[in-house]
Structure 1
């Protein structure tokens, strides 16, 4: 089991955010990224929304990064830790732009990028961006094909309804071969089938932990399975967030668990097929206390679960 670093103030989600996080600045996060790397955490993952309609702010909060910008910053502040998204909204921008941003990031970071795409769920956000919400699945299908073509083909070309190109040059290619590891986030069968076709990882959200093995079997049973599923990410705090970011009470996901509770929970998730997780951010007094807490995780939890 590998642990990602739970970066404070990545978002202001009602279900998971601790009040002290509101005081965490970008400078604090930059220092914490370096601290996370020093402690041996292996990934920093960035949530993404571009705009939150007012009626969703109570549960979702107003604060979200552009995933690629923040990932690039954290990659630039570190030397070894991987950067990822959780998630990046695949239909939200043209796939050539997405492919270029991620290939640039991978090249500059010497191959430390993983990308978790999803189709998005917030219909009002799509309307504000001028993107047809009910076509987002079809768009995502074409977009990932186009991105992979740009990353892997010497003379990339693609012909589709939403994107087409030929007779183009695309460099730099990603450092990682055959390409940047692609994960998909979500729980619907369409997402699992897309994971089977194109991805190396899956990030469930509303899936109950006990059903993760069945979903993994479903992915691997698809007739067009690429044979590459290697990673499943399920953070301990995930069960506190319901559909539409509703608050859920789940004792197994509460922050501030004891050493043995955390070890037992992470070990159980590993038995279910989870390869990556993260520990919830607990109620604390501030950044200094969080540095102490994450050092405790590194010293007391990591050696047992790795």
Structure 2
């Protein structure tokens, strides 16, 4: 079991954000990224929304990064830790631009990039960007095919309803071969079928922990399963966020759990098939307290679950 680093102030999600996080700056996050790398955390992930409608701000908060520039910045500020998204909204950006951004990032970081795509859920965000919400699944299917073609084909070509290209060259290719790891986030059958075809990782959000083994079996049972599923990410705080970012009460996922509670829950996750998780951000008083807490996790929790 690997542990990802829970970076404060990536969002102001009502269900998970602690009050002290709002004072954390970009400079603080840079220091924390270097700290996380020093302590041996496996990954830092960046959530993404481009705009939040006013009627969602109470639950979702207003504060989100664009995943690709934030990931690139964090990769450039570090030397070993992996960067990922959680998630990047695949249909909201042209796939050639997405493929180029991620290949550039992976090439410059010497292969430290994983990407978690999702189709998106916030219809009014799609409306603001002029993207047809009810076609997002079909768009995502074409987009991932186009991206993989650009990453892996010497003379990439693709013909679809939403994107087409031919007689083009695309370099640099990703540093990682055949391409950087692709994960998908989400829970619907369509998402899991897409994972079976194209991905090596799954990031559940609304799936209950005890349902994970059956859903892994569903992925692997697909007739076009690629055989590549190796990574399942399930964070502690996942069960505190419901559909539409509604707050859920889960005492077993609360911040500030004891050492043994954390170890036991991570052990249970591992039995369910989870390969990576993250400990919740605690109710501390300052960022300096968080430096101490994350060191405690690295020294007391990591060795017990490695």
TM bin, normalised by shorter chain, reads over 0.9
In 1, the alpha carbon distance for the partners of 2:84 and 2:218 equals 24
Q: Does 1:6 align with 2:19?
A: no
Aligned to 1:46: 46
CA distance in 1, matches of 2:10, 2:294: 16
1:123-161 per-position Cα deviation (integer Å, ceiling 9, x unaligned) = 000000000000000000000000000000000000000
Matched, 1:260 2:260: yes
Q: Please, what TM-score do these two structures have when normalized by structure 2?
A: 1.00
2:286 matches 1:283: no
- Which secondary structure does the structure 2 equivalent of 1:121 belong to? coil
- In the other structure, the counterpart of 2:241 is 241
Distance (whole Å) between structure 2 residues aligned to residue 252 and residue 118 of structure 1: 27
Deviation at 1:282, TM superposition (A): 0.6
Mapped to 2, the partners of 1:42 and 1:215 lie a distance apart of 25
SS at match of 2:4: strand
Shift of residue 267 of structure 1?
0.4
Deviation at 1:4, TM superposition (A): 0.4
- Give 5+ residue unaligned stretches, structure 2: none
Query: Which residues of 2 match residues 1-306 of structure 1 at below 5 A?
Result: 1-306=1-306
Q: Please give the secondary structure, in 2, of the residue aligned with 1:144.
A: helix
Cα deviation, residue 237, structure 1: 0.7
Question: How many residue pairs get matched?
Answer: 306
Q: What's the TM-score once normalised by structure 1's chain length?
A: 1.00
Unaligned runs of 5+ in 1: none
Matches of 1:102 and 1:253, distance apart in 2 = 32
Stretches (4+) displaced over 3 A: none
Root-mean-square deviation (CA), in Å?
0.3
1:228, distance to aligned residue in structure 2 (A): 0.1
Offset at 1:72? Answer: 0.4
- Cα distance, 1:232 vs structure 2: 0.3
| SS of alignment partner, residue 91 of structure 2 | helix
Name the CA distance, whole Å, in 1 between partners of 2:222 and 2:42: 30
